[in-house]
């Protein structure tokens, strides 16, 4: 029975995130338990277990007599999640440049070229946003995972989910030009890594992190 409850709790957790990132809800929205049960198809008990986990991860806020709120975006929180990403990636990039096999860097290059070709065929800003989001996971997480540190990888994934959450709030301002810029920044990072130039790679990664933050904060900061 305990194992079944754990499985149902995991199902509720995963289903909630799927719906959230499909924009069923957005940052700041309040959601009732009844609505969660209806839309996820999971019973209330495992859903409560999932909500406690989501609350601990900063995805939702549970307030007595108010209910469940998808964590709203704020300038402070956006700055914090991008700062954490920058700190974790600094460590990962140094290890990657010094230790990654050439084949792994070649794979990153080939994947990057694939995303550029896909972006050239994109027919809407939404398609472009989905392309850069996928490439970000492919590049950034691959670099972080190469550390072989499960704890850092887990923290990074949780933080990446929070960045993804807050992007739901500013997708409207994330233009095709922003995606092209981000793709170009990724290419510069990969080129620097292929040269085994740690100083240049860190500079390119720091620049990309700074620009990603500005794109997240919106037009006043660009």
For residue 135, what pLDDT is reported? 87
List the beta bridge partners of residue 68.
Answer: 31, 62
For residue 2, what pLDDT is reported? 45
Q: Where are the domains positioned within the chain?
A: 2-70, 75-221
Topology adopted by domain 2-70: Arc Repressor Mutant, subunit A (1.10.10)
For residue 6, what pLDDT is reported? 56
> What are the DSSP calls for 142-163, one per residue?
HHHHTT--HHHHHHHHHHHHHH
Token match 């409207």: residue?
172
CA distances from 126 to 80, 131, 164, 216 (A): 26, 9, 14, 15
User: Tens-digit pLDDT profile for the chain (222 aa)?
Assistant: 444 555 778 899 999 999 998 889 989 999 998 999 999 898 888 898 999 999 999 999 998 888 899 999 889 999 999 999 999 999 999 999 999 999 999 999 999 999 999 888 888 877 887 888 888 888 999 999 999 999 999 999 999 999 988 887 765 566 788 888 999 999 999 999 999 999 999 999 999 999 999 888 876 554
Pairing of strands 60-63, 67-70: antiparallel
Q: In what order do the strands lie in the sheet with 60-63?
A: 30-31, 67-70, 60-63
With a CB cutoff of 8 Å and minimum separation 6, the contacts of 69 are: 28, 29, 30, 31, 60, 61, 62, 63
Token match 């990057």: residue?
112
For residue 170, what pLDDT is reported? 62
- For the chain, give the number of residues: 222
Token match 């307030």: residue?
63
Architecture of domain 75-221: Up-down Bundle (1.20)
Question: Would you say 144 and 152 are in contact if contact means Cβ atoms under 8 Å apart?
Answer: yes
């Amino acid at each position: 029975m305990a194992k079944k409850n754990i499985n149902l709790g995991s199902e509720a957790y995963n289903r909630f995130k799927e719906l959230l990132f499909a924009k069923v809800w957005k940052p700041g929205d309040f959601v009732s338990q009844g609505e969660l049960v209806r839309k996820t198809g999971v019973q209330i008990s495992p859903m409560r277990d999932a909500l406690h986990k989501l609350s601990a991860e900063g995805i939702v806020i549970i307030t007595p007599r108010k209910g469940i709120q998808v964590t709203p975006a704020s300038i402070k929180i956006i700055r914090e999640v991008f700062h954490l990403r920058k700190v974790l990636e600094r460590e990962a990039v140094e290890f990657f440049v010094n230790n990654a096999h050439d084949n792994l860097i070649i794979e990153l290059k080939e994947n990057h070229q694939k995303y550029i070709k896909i972006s050239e065929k994109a027919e809407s800003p939404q398609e472009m946003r989905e392309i850069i989001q996928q490439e970000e996971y492919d590049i950034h997480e691959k670099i972080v995972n190469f550390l072989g540190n499960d704890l850092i990888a887990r923290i990074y994934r949780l933080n990446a989910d929070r960045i993804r959450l807050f992007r739901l709030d500013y997708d409207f301002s994330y233009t095709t030009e922003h995606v092209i810029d981000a793709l170009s920044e990724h290419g510069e990072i990969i080129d620097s890594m292929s040269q085994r130039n740690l100083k240049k790679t860190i500079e390119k990664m720091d620049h990309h992190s700074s620009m990603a933050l500005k794109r997240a904060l919106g037009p006043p900061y660009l």
